[in-house]
Each structure stands twice: as C-alpha cells, then as structure tokens.
Amino acid sequence: MADIAFLLLIFFLVTTSMGSTTGLTRRLPPPLPPNVVIPPVDIKKRNLFVVKINSMNQLLVQGNEISIKELRAKTKEFIRNDANDLGLPAKFTVNIPLLGEIEITKDHVISLQNDIDTQYQAYIDVQNELVGAYTELRNELSKEKFGKLYNELVEAQQKAIQAAYPQKISEAEPKNYGGGKK
Amino acid sequence: MAQIRKKGERETPALSTSSLPDIIFMFLFFFMAVTTMKEVTFKVRVTPPQASEAEKLDNKSLTRYIYVGKPMEDLKRIFGSETRIQLGDAFADVSELQQFIINERSAMKEEDQPLMTVSIKADKDTKMGIINDIKKELRNASALKIIYAAGKRQPE
C-alpha cells in the first residue's frame, strides 16, 4: 500500500510544478487590414502623454527625463487633471450609472514607445507603474463613492469605475531612436 | 537499584508502519492540490521580471505560453547563446508563431476560442526587439489577449 502511494507521490512531484502564473494583462489593438492605409488619428497634444524608453532604459516623459519612481505620480496627475490645466487632457462631464455626473478626461491617451534595445524588465517596470497609476485612481474613486477598494466591489460597480478611468495605453511600433548599436 | 533486570535486553518495540500509507496519501493529496501540471520542459532559461501590479491568471486551460530567453546551458553548444523563442516543446522562429496560434486556437472548443490568452514568458534581460516581433505576430494572428508573465513583487 505504502509503495503504491509513494509511487504516485513521486509521479506527481515530477510531473507538476508549483506556483501560479501571475502577470500584467494587456490587450493588443486589432490587426490592420492589409493594403489599407489608416489615416493617422488626430489626437490633440494636450490629450497625449508620451513615455519613451531608450536603449539605456532611461525614461523620457513629455520631453523631460525622469526616474521610474516619479512616473506613477506624473501619470496620475495627467489622468486626473485636478486643476483643469490647459496643458493636461480636456475634461468632460459625463453621466455614468451608479456614479452620477462626473468629470473625466475621457480622451486621454498614454503612448508608450520603446527602443528595440530596451531591456524587458525596464519595459515591464514602466507598464507596471502605468497600471499602478490606474489602480490607485480607481481605488481612490471607489473609496470615495462606495467606501470600498476597487476589487471588493460588485461587478456593476467595477464597470462604472472602469468607465470613469478607462485604461488607455497605446503601444506604438518601436523606433531605433536611442542611438543603439545597430 | 532495587530493580532486578530480567535476563536479556529490553527491546524497543518495532515502529508501527500501518499508518504510513495514510501519511503518504496525505502528502499526495496535498501535492495534487497545490501544484499544476507542468506545461513543458524548458529549453530556454526564463527569469521573469518583477511587477507589483501583477494579477493572478484566472483560466489556465485557455492560456498558451510563449517562452523567450537564452537556451539552457547544456543546449548552448547546439543552439548558441542568442535569445530564442520556445513554442510548446521546441525552439521556433517568429515566423512560425502565427501558425502555432492558429493551430492552438482551432484545437479549442468553439466557445472558448475568443477567450484564448497568450502568456509571454520572457526573461527579464530580453531585448524588446524580439518582444515587439512577437507582439506583431500575435496581432496578425488576432490573439489579442496577452499577459506579460511577471513575478509578484511586494509594493515598497
């Protein structure tokens, strides 16, 4: 009896692996139909938040070199636009069910551009900070409206919060602007 | 002192092994519960990057994996030390990716097909060039739900 049990135990130890997969979920844009030139979408400059990573893993955000630690705060400031700054994305008053009338920057876009020599870890760090900024904003709003954290809400409430802060991260085709060795 | 030893050493009774199977079965069930089937044998070394916002993947059966990294030590002699892509159990080229996704998708149940997720397990030192090529191929194959596999880092 014990022998059979041992055998099964060893079999399972060998064929299985511990731990679960975690990661950052993203959605790619749908494929472009071939031979169709899509006219460049006109995004107003104030609605665009450009994050560039060069081949040395340095960040250029809106034309300024900053460190990864400042990125989250900068992103939040951009998405929220508390002071209704003309240099930050335009605000619109929209009516979202469960939340009522709320002012959001619905047209903002975060553009993430990387060099082909950028290290994967640096890229994930930036993605992480951007997702983190959205998570914090969503948490703040759901605390204010429902008194709970975002992932404690029921689905309809989560939908409403998502509508207020939609994740808009565009991943442009990479450029070799960083003066990398090629 | 007053005790009188009977002749012959007093023997410790043999350890009862009748409960051994129970213990082993307990182990077995424990391992069956906490582990999952191994996806493939790794041919590339992957140390995933760390991210504090990493979420747990909800549906493993709908996920297909792409491994990106440098070949394992013992395979370096044959395959070199350049970053390679592993699909299933074998090395593959970026151009084979689209076919792989199409094959995997058609093997799924029809109602599950739009839910297919592709997990990119890439080494943290990989250059973004190869990741971009993969992303482009995935886009062409209409596999739009992707996950950048990353370890969970505790927020500071």
Q: Do A18 and B135 touch (CB under 8 A)?
A: no
Q: Which of residues 61-100 of B touch A (CB under 8 A)?
A: 63
B45 contact residues in A (CB cutoff 8 A)? none
pLDDT digits over B112-127, tens only?
Answer: 888 888 888 889 888 8
Q: Do B144 and A29 touch (CB under 8 A)?
A: yes
- State ipTM: 0.74
Interface test with B, best of A22, A35, A57, A158 (most B CBs within 10 A): A22
Low-confidence ranges of chain A (pLDDT < 70): 17-20, 35-42, 172-182
**What architecture is domain A49-132?**
2-Layer Sandwich (3.30)
Q: Which CATH number fits domain B44-152: 1.10.390.10, 3.40.109.10, 3.30.420.270, 2.40.50.840?
A: 3.30.420.270
DSSP H or E stretch at residue A137: helix A120-146
pTM exceeding 0.90: no
Q: Do A171 and B135 touch (CB under 8 A)?
A: yes
Distance of CA A155 to the CA centre of its chain: 20
Q: Do B128 and A119 touch (CB under 8 A)?
A: yes
Domain locations along chain A: 49-132
Distance of CA B132 to the CA centre of its chain: 23
Pairing of strands B50-51, B151-152: parallel
Domain locations along chain B: 44-152
pLDDT digits over A57-93, tens only?
Answer: 888 888 888 888 888 888 888 888 877 777 777 777 7
Q: Which residues contact A16 (CB under 8 A, 6 or more apart)?
A: B31, B32, B35, B36, B37, B38
B54 contacts chain A (CB < 8 A): yes
